[in-house]
Amino acid sequence: IKCIGVLTSGGDAPGMNAAIRAVTRAAIFNGIRVKGIYKGYRGLIAGDVVEFKTDSVSNIIQRGGTILKTARCDEFKTIEGRKVAYETMTREGINALVVIGGDGSLTGANIFANEYNIPIVGLPGTIDNDLNGTDVTIGYDTALNTIMEAVDKIRDTATSHERLFFIEVMGRNCGYLALNSAIAAGAEAAIIPEISIEKDQLAELIEQGFRKSKNSSMVLVTESEVTGGALKLAERVKNEYPQYDVRVSILGHLQRGGSPSAQDRILASRMGVAAIQAFLEDQRNVMIGIRENEIDYVPFQRAIKKEREISEELLEVLRISSI
């Protein structure tokens, strides 16, 4: 491999810049040229490509977002779109790709890699922590801290009145953000997609509230079709439990912003260096994961499988510590 391309795709996440920096510097350290591809797969199709030197990534480790910008690109989901993307790579002399993004981005990478026999290494860049084969994803820790601080602030007003507060956080089909931020902020409960199919989490929560006769409650809710989201839950409370003064706070995009935490910067740096190491070891079509603090190569097929389970131990910790 003489030249790699690096891109960020899908939703942005704090720490993506630290990852771009590490990938760039590790490649150059090993005598490999680097080209930055702007706006994810859209830039690959449009030929929005710039050669990176070591100083192209100076002074970015502390910045949120991604200097390469990111995009969603429906064209890349088509055979024609990917053909144009491949033509860009040939024209630019790019032999391999590092794709930083979530499960959608890695799904696209997997298809593209198989179609054109291109070596691709993925880095899990998403605040959702919804990828298989890695304990954490780049951006997750920062988002968790942001949510925790927001919940702390909401708590001040929630306890001044007797209220039930639903705080909606991101995560899609993954309850880790809601569950761990509930633990970290000392909230009463988390309503998450992994368990709501089996039982009525809201009814259980209200019943517990009565038992504990708590005046105010903070409940973290994953934004997801399965949980219905905070607004729908609040509607149900108004209809079924009118004695509760219910309020909703949807944290939205502020969860994605901000300077990355030390943990995310270190994680992104380790994963970025590991991505280049993977190429040197002739690995391809793997996502860099981290398990028990060790770098791991996770085949794309496994990384994007939707089988991530929630930790029973964490659920228990929240249940016990909120009585």
Find the catalytic residue in 12, 48, 103, 128: 128
Segment interacting with ligand ATP, rule: CB under 6 A, options 100-108, 149-157, 196-204, 292-300: 100-108
Segment interacting with ligand ATP, rule: CB under 6 A, options 98-106, 229-237, 239-247, 283-291: 98-106
How near is the Cβ of 227 to ligand ATP at its closest, in Å? 17
Quote the tokens at residue 16.
Answer: 């993506």
Site string for ligand ATP, 122-161 (x = CB under 6 A): ----x-x---------------------------------
Within 16-45, which residues bind ligand ATP (CB under 6 A)?
A: 41
Segment interacting with ligand ATP, rule: CB under 6 A, options 5-13, 184-192, 208-216, 240-248: 5-13
How near is the Cβ of 197 to ligand ATP at its closest, in Å? 21
The two most distant CA atoms of the chain are separated, in Å, by 68
How near is the Cβ of 214 to ligand ATP at its closest, in Å? 35
For ligand ATP, which is the closer residue by CB, 108 or 133? 108
For ligand ATP, which is the closer residue by CB, 72 or 247? 72
Q: How many whole angstroms separate alpha carbon 292 and alpha carbon 210?
A: 40
Quote the tokens at residue 228.
Answer: 């219905």
In the list 33, 77, 163, 247, the residue contacting ligand ATP (rule: CB under 6 A) is 77
**Quick check: 126 and 139 in contact, CB under 8 A?**
yes
Q: Which residue is nearest to ligand ATP (CB)?
A: 104
Question: Considering only CA atoms, which of 24, 83, 90 is closest in space to residue 51?
Answer: 24
128 is catalytic: yes
**Quick check: 257 and 65 in contact, CB under 8 A?**
yes
**According to the binding rule CB under 6 A, does residue 209 interact with ligand ATP?**
no
In the list 11, 36, 171, 289, the residue contacting ligand ATP (rule: CB under 6 A) is 11
Positions marked active-site: 128
Site residues for ligand ATP per CB under 6 A:
9-11, 41, 72-73, 76-77, 101-105, 107-108, 111, 126, 128
